[in-house]
């Protein structure tokens, strides 16, 4: 059974870079799309972007200038970097596999349990 686990610093200072890793177990990251999604405390979900196992990416236009995603197939890991963070970037960050089971059908499954990142000095 595929399992995802996010890890990284829980506290980041304003203007610095948020860096998170998603470790995938129970399967290989090759041949799939891997997404990052975030949820500010008490609020809804926001898609950040995805990375394909080849390294190709697609980012949310609202975050594109600050986001970088990458894969390390040797470690079965996916990474997220978000530059120039502010308090508005405080959120629980989830990684999830993006599936397209049919034309115009999309879903995220499974999800990691998420990791809270707080931006504060």
Partner 1 sequence: SSELTQDPAVSVALGQTVRITCQGDSLTTSYATWYQQKPGQAPILVIYGNNNRPSGIPDRFSGSISGSTASLTITGAQADDGADYFCHSRDTSGNRYVFGTGTKVTVL
d(CA 26, CA 111): 13
Binding mask 26-55 for partner 1 (x = CB under 8 A): ---------x--------xxxx--------
| Smallest gap from residue 39 Cβ to partner 1 (A) | 9
**Shortest Cβ 36–partner 1 spacing (Å):** 11
Contact between 105 and partner 1 per CB under 8 A: yes
Both structure tokens of 93: 């960050």
Is 69 a residue that touches partner 1 (CB under 8 A)? no
Name the residues that contact partner 1, by CB under 8 A: 35, 44-47, 58, 60-61, 94, 98, 101-102, 104-114
């Amino acid at each position: 059974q595929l399992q995802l686990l996010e890890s990284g610093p829980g506290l980041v200072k304003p203007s610095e870079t948020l860096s998170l890793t998603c470790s995938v177990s129970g399967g290989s990251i090759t041949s799939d799309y891997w997404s990052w999604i975030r949820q500010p405390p008490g609020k809804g979900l926001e898609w950040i972007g995805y990375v394909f196992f080849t390294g190709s990416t697609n980012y949310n236009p609202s975050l594109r200038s600050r986001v970088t995603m990458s894969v390390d197939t040797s470690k079965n890991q996916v990474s997220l970097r978000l530059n120039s963070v502010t308090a508005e970037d405080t959120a629980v960050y989830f990684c999830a596999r993006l599936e397209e089971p049919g034309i115009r059908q999309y879903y995220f499954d499974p999800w990691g349990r998420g990791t809270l990142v707080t931006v504060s000095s």
